[in-house]
Amino acid sequence: MKALILNSGLGSRMGVLTSEHPKCMTEISAHETILSRQLKQIADAGIEEVVITTGYYDGVLVNYCNSLDLPLNFTFVKNPIYDQTNYIYSIYCAKDYLDDDIILMHGDLVFEHEVFDRVLASPVSCMTVSSTLPLPEKDFKAVVRDGMVMKVGVEFFNEAMEAQALYKLLKDDWKVWLNKIVEFCENDKRKVYAENALNELEGAANIHALDVENLLCSEIDNPEDLAIVTAKLKEIESRTVYMCFASDIIHGGHIAIIKKAQKLGKLIIGVLSDEAVASYKRMPLVPASERKLMFENIAGVYKVVDQDTLSYRANLEKYKPSIVVHGDDWVTGFQRPIRDEVTDILATYGGKLVEYPYSSDPKYAEIDARTRSDLAMPDIRRGRLKRMLDAKGLVTAMEAHDGLTGLIVENTVVHQEGGAHQFDAMWISSLCDSTAKGKPDIELVDMTSRFRTIEDITEVTTKPIIFDGDTGGKTEHFVYTVRSLERLGVSMVIIEDKTGLKKNSLFGTEVVQTQDTIENFSAKIKAGKKAQRTKEFMICARIESLILEQGMEDALTRAFAFAEAGADAIMIHSRKKDPSEIQEFIEKFRAKDQTTPIVLVPTSFNSVTEDEWKERGANIIIYANQLMRAEVPAMQKAAETILQNHRAEECDAMLMPFKDIIRLIPAEV
């Protein structure tokens, strides 16, 4: 595709403005002329070849074009009798350079980017017209029939629309018109418009009318036109455009939409906070501060700001952008409420929402899949729990005891209020891991087998893992466990301050259980911290004082001592239904220690919501066994139903079709 710009004329109606250069070099803003703007638009569109017809002040014009330093190859064609002919003859002079699809424009035309984008995107030959502007008395009008331009001239008022000489001409259509231009010029009809030749073709050049309505697309004939166009351009250039990004990689699809948005005005990019991203998809690989830097370094981005919530409200109210740009993927689905809020806010001040088709290019899906598989890698998975804790303040974990439950924790999402709620992490419970193997929870299942469970889960998931390390075993063994867990990509091990034959805490004092001494357990924590090789791995000390009815004071004394010994977090446990002893512990612990994360397993004291725990100062909520407790009765019921009926038919209603179960299993993680 080539651009053809007609610049042979003088533009005598511009008065002194054209006393030293051709009209196209008239300034339309502090930083551009009609021609420099056209050429930048052409270069931005990726067109490289520009044919410019010249006449008056051709030397000035050629020097000027070259001085702009744009990635364009110019062919200048001088009309030797520019003062005796019209531009039809300039085109004739340039005809040997025009064997291509052509973007044709008059040299005095100013149009906004959206107009040019629409012209370029047209799959057919077209001319810009306006169905909304009044018909000009002396300027071009197009006679439009069934969407086709039949004639163009100043004299047509019937079936006519205001028209501007900005055309996209496909090679074959252009050839038809060009041949007619040649015929005219060779028959000495050189003082007419090129459109006079077009009009004789009666629609044979297949030019469609492209209605740009009120968008800026105007020629500048005199100082009054110049004042109007300059003012409109100023208004267009002061428009701000807002987009929000959550992604931690920038690929070609993002750049394409950013480029489009930039053409609509000054682009402000909101970077979604880590917490907000984590709340609807996953913890970003790249923290918000780094993501901001990436966007700040994209050419032409006006400003990069924080967006702290999924809702756009705060930023729309602060920056009042004229336009919000988004992919059309949020028209349906869980983001719909966010979109509705955006349209409501924009309506309050006359802002506009522009939606572009969401790119479903498989190469971007592949990049996403690759990022996902990176998330599963031990080094990347391990550090995410700590980052999530920093970003979100409160993290939730759900129990998983095999690959399938891991997938359920990984993929279960509930959409609420424009957000997507999901578990942040996985808990590998000693109780459920043992139970899944039909064994009691007494540290009977050895570490090698427990590690196998971890691997089954890590093979098919990406979320961070909190591992139930029971008592941690002997200190001499625990140091090995720490390193093995680090290698497996586990983020945190929780060890409890019990010794001897450990039994599950939910038995409380119904069974004999011995609590370790503060000294011994502190030494175990210290040894574990010393042994760990990665900086993000966390060791959490679990205090059993309330379970073993040793009192609040004992629990607090231990908590402070274990934090002092280097524990990265404290888990306080209770088997009471009433949450008040846990609440009291948090309050008293937080009075002295505001930073060490507090971990809770609210199996018994399950009436308090996550938000309330967060408010009170808890940081990790572990749902320790609910998936297993859901599956066991369901399995028993199915088994009984078959036994009762001596066949499986009655059981069907309570079963999920296997094709739905298979959907949980990824082809590749």
Helix (H) or strand (E) holding 453: helix 447-458
* Closer of 195 and 441 to Mg ion (Cβ): 441
Q: Residues 306, 307, 312, 316: what is their CA dihedral angle, to the nearest 10 degrees?
A: -10
Query: Buried (b) or exposed (e) across 90-123, using 16+ Cβ within 10 A?
Result: bbbbbeeebebbbbbbbbbbbbbbbbbbbbeebe
Residues 506-565 that bind ligand SPV (CB under 6 A): 506
Q: Which one of the spans 142-150, 242-250, 428-436, 527-535 is the region binding ligand SPV (CB under 6 A)? A: 428-436
* 627 interacts with ligand SPV by CB under 6 A: no
Q: Which of 108, 424, 441, 516 is catalytic?
A: 441
Reading phi first (left if > 0) and then psi (alpha if -120 to 50, else beta), residue 393 is in left
Which range, of 36-44, 84-92, 332-340, 424-432, touches ligand SPV by CB under 6 A? 424-432
Among 199, 279, 619, 625, which residue sits at the site for ligand SPV (rule: CB under 6 A)? 625
Residues 366, 368: Cα–Cα separation, whole Å: 5
Q: What is the CA radius of gyration of the chain?
A: 36
Looking at residues 463 to 492 of the shown chain, list those that interact with ligand SPV (rule: CB under 6 A): 468
By CB under 6 A, the residues from 247 to 306 that bind ligand SPV are: none
Least Å from the CB of residue 630 to ligand SPV = 15
The SS3 call for residue 269 is: strand
Residues 430-449 that bind Mg ion (CB under 5 A): 430-431
Give the strand pairing for 102-106 and 160-169. antiparallel
Say which entry of Mg ion, ligand SPV, none residue 601 contacts (CB below 5 to 8 A, set by partner kind): ligand SPV
* Residues written for the chain: 669
Tokens coding 91 = 């085109």
Binding window for ligand SPV (CB under 6 A); candidates: 276-284, 374-382, 502-510, 610-618? 502-510
Which of residues 127, 431, 571, 572 is near ligand SPV by CB under 6 A? 431
Q: Which of residues 589-608 bind ligand SPV (CB under 6 A)?
A: 601, 603
Of 58, 108, 424, 468, the one binding Mg ion by CB under 5 A: 468
In the block, residue with structure tokens 């038995």? 507
Least distance (Å) from ligand SPV to the CB of residue 604? 8
Cα–Cα distance measured from residue 423 to residue 401, given in angstroms and rounded to the nearest whole number? 15
Binding status of residue 453 toward Mg ion by CB under 5 A: no
φ, ψ (nearest 5 deg) of residue 499: -145, 165
Closer by beta carbon to ligand SPV, 278 or else 494: 494
Residues forming beta bridges with residue 415, ordered by sequence position: 420
Q: Which is nearer to ligand SPV, 164 or 513 (CB)?
A: 513
Residues 119 and 100: their CA atoms lie apart, in Å, by: 16
Binding of residue 471 to Mg ion (CB under 5 A): no
Phi then psi for residue 144, to 5 deg, are: -115, 125
Stretch that binds ligand SPV, among 223-231, 292-300, 427-435, 648-656 (CB under 6 A): 427-435
Least distance in Å: CB of 534 to Mg ion? 24
C-beta of 430 vs 545, nearer to ligand SPV? 430
Smallest distance, Mg ion to C-beta of residue 528, A: 17
Measured between alpha carbons, how far is 88 from 94 in angstroms, rounded to an integer? 10
Q: Which residue in 458, 505, 532, 641 binds ligand SPV (CB under 6 A)?
A: 505
Reply yes or no on whether 441 is catalytic.
Answer: yes
Place of tokens 């059309």: 328
Phi and psi of 217, rounded to 5°?
-160, 90
| Tokens matching residue 422 | 């999901």
Q: Does 457 bind ligand SPV (CB under 6 A)?
A: no
For residue 370, count other CB atoms closer than 10 A to its CB.
11
Minimum CB distance to ligand SPV smaller for 103 or for 600: 600
Name the site residues for ligand SPV (rule: CB under 6 A): 429-431, 468, 504-506, 601, 603, 624-625
Q: Which residue numbers are catalytic?
A: 441
